[in-house]
Amino acid sequence: MPASAKNTDSTDTSKTRAKKAPTKKANKQAASEGFTDFTPYEPKKGEEYMSSSQLDHFRQMLLNWKQELMEEVDRTMHHMQEDAANYADPSDRATQEEEFSLELRTRDRERKLIKKIDKTLDNIDRDDYGFCESCGVEIGIRRLEARPTATQCIDCKTLAEIKERQTGI
């Protein structure tokens, strides 16, 4: 069989398949996990830990993150209002209810995260940000950039997680 007559409709689609655009689910996941516009902080030589410029950096990060979460809440509210339909088919109705349930569960987690962001912003305003609440050592800029709402250094957090696994609390 000549090479030009080869069947390519289902066997070799990897070369012709275009890269897919991010799905709605991927966009939601990115919004809930972090930031879409982020520049790492570069400390100046000899700069004191949690200087005013560092606190401003983290304040802005948290405010941007909170804004993204709030926008996602608004999108969900509009989506649920627009897509709410009384389907005649029980399967369609169940599918829609499950979708709404998942969205509401996600929004509830994000609501809790927004509260945590607000608490962290209060800590920044009181100059009580960036230090472990358990032992008092510096949490570290890179850890705070990875998880700006962190309240424990990596060592205390690791110990707390080990205790949690052992005791089940």
Query: What is the pLDDT, as a whole number, of residue 56?
Result: 96
Per the structure block, which two tokens stand in for 87? 């389907």
Domain-located, residue 56: yes
- Report the distance separating Cα 117 and Cα 59, nearest Å: 10
The reply to whether 156 sits in an annotated binding site is: yes
- A 10 A CB-CB count for 62 gives 20
Tell me if 67 is assigned to some domain: yes
pLDDT of residue 11 exceeding 60, the answer is no
Same domain, 87 and 105: yes
Question: Which range has highest mean pLDDT (12-26, 72-86, 143-157)?
Answer: 143-157
Query: For the segment 149-168, what is each residue's pLDDT rounded down to a tens digit?
Result: 999 999 999 999 999 999 98
Are 113 and 71 in a shared domain? yes
Give per-residue pLDDT as tens, 32-61.
445 667 789 998 899 999 999 999 999 999
163: helix, strand or coil: helix
135 among the known binding-site residues? yes
**Distance from C-alpha of 93 to C-alpha of 80, rounded to nearest angstrom:** 13
Are 60 and 98 within one domain? yes
Query: What DSSP assignment string belongs to 90-158?
Result: HHHHHHHHHHHHHHHHHHHHHHHHHHHHHHHHHHHHTT--SB-TTT--B--HHHHHH-TT--S-HHHHH
Say whether 56 counts as a known binding-site residue. Answer: no
45 marked ligand binding residue: no
Question: What tokens were used for 114?
Answer: 């927004």
pLDDT category, 12, cuts 50, 70, 90? very low
Rg (CA), the chain: 23
Is residue 92 located within the same domain as residue 121?
A: yes
CB 36 within 8 A of CB 80: no
Domain of 91: which CATH number?
1.20.120.910
Q: Are residues 118 and 154 in the same domain?
A: no
Based on the domain organization, do 58 and 122 belong to the same domain?
Answer: yes
Residue 100's domain spans which residues?
48-128
* pLDDT for residue 79: 80
Instruction: Indicate whether 54 and 65 sit together in one domain.
Output: yes
Contacts of 41 (CB under 8 A, 6+ apart): 54, 57, 141, 145
pTM to 2 decimals? 0.72
Pick 134 or 38 by higher pLDDT. 134
Query: Is 138 within a domain?
Result: yes
The total number of structural domains that make up the chain: 2
Beta bridge partners of 138: 131
Do 102 and 164 have their domain in common? Answer: no
Average pLDDT across the chain, whole number:
81
- Whether residue 83 is predicted with pLDDT greater than 70 in this model: the reply is yes
Indicate if 112 and 142 belong to the same structural domain.
Answer: no
Task: For residue 29, tell me if it sits in a domain.
Answer: no
With cut-offs at 50, 70 and 90, classify the pLDDT of residue 78: confident
Is residue 28 scored above 50 in pLDDT? no
134 and 117 belong to one structural domain: no
Residue 1 maps to a domain: no
Residue 25 within any structural domain of the chain: no
62 vs 28, higher pLDDT = 62
